[in-house]
Chain A
């Protein structure tokens, strides 16, 4: 079976500090990978998605970047965090296009920028 791991679960970082969140998927190959952000009381907003190693598409211009160094590894980064970067960050994977578009989520990282 497939599993998705995301860490850390909670993170408190000062403004201006760097960020690195990691996500790995097990039990599947060539997944599509996604980073979503969820603000308090709101739905999920897609930040980045990747259909293969080194292939990153950004949905929203922002202070964040993403990388996919390996097939099942997805990393969310920032060089200098802003207060507005606080939120609940979720990594997800899906099998691909067409009839297999449902996404499966990790347990999330709650980031507080202080």
Chain B
């Protein structure tokens, strides 16, 4: 069983819809949670970083963490065609020297 599970998609949504992405994990030592956006043939770009259960909002993005269920989510409101990319969840434990465990990534396509 992988430590981090993420549906690879693709997830296709119409422009303006809410994109809902999620990951589950099995390692209760994970304390820090990140979402990255990766455009084709580019390096991942950090979108959200959180280390506590609950919601964190940044513009159109909301990250949600439920440590009791080992489940994290990313919501993108008012989606745009420019949001079409692969979204990767990543997580690490305390004193892990920043080593990250990644999900496989979900490909998102926002159609005009």
> Which residue, A44, A97, A105, A108, has most C-beta atoms of chain B within 10 A?
A44
Flag if A90 contacts B96 (CB, 8 Å).
no
List chain B residues, Cβ under 8 A from A94.
Answer: 98
List chain A residues, Cβ under 8 A from B42.
Answer: 107-108
B25 interface hit (Cβ, 8 Å): no
B45 interface hit (Cβ, 8 Å): yes
- Asked, given contacts A90-B43, A102-B46, A107-B42, whether A32 binds B97 with beta carbons under 8 Å apart, the answer is yes
- Asked, given contacts A42-B104, A43-B102, A44-B102, whether A105 binds B45 with beta carbons under 8 Å apart, the answer is yes
Q: Which of B36, B98, B100, B103 contacts A96 (CB 8 A)?
A: B98
List chain A residues, Cβ under 8 A from B4.
Answer: 43
List chain A residues, Cβ under 8 A from B103.
Answer: 43
- Asked, given contacts A43-B88, A44-B88, A98-B94, whether A104 binds B46 with beta carbons under 8 Å apart, the answer is yes
- Asked, given contacts A43-B4, A107-B43, whether A102 binds B99 with beta carbons under 8 Å apart, the answer is no
Q: How many residues of B contact A (CB 8 A)?
A: 28
Flag if B100 contacts A44 (CB, 8 Å).
yes
A59 interface hit (Cβ, 8 Å): yes
| Cβ < 8 Å to B, chain A residues 38-65 | 41-46, 49, 51, 59
List chain B residues, Cβ under 8 A from A105.
Answer: 36, 43-45
In the complex, residue of chain B having the shortest beta-carbon distance to the beta carbon of A107: B43
A99 interface hit (Cβ, 8 Å): yes
Return A26 CB to nearest CB of chain B, in Å: 16
- Asked, given contacts A32-B98, A43-B103, A43-B105, whether A102 binds B43 with beta carbons under 8 Å apart, the answer is no
Counting from the closest, the 6 A-B pairs by CB-CB distance are A94-B98, A43-B102, A105-B43, A44-B102, A43-B104, A102-B49
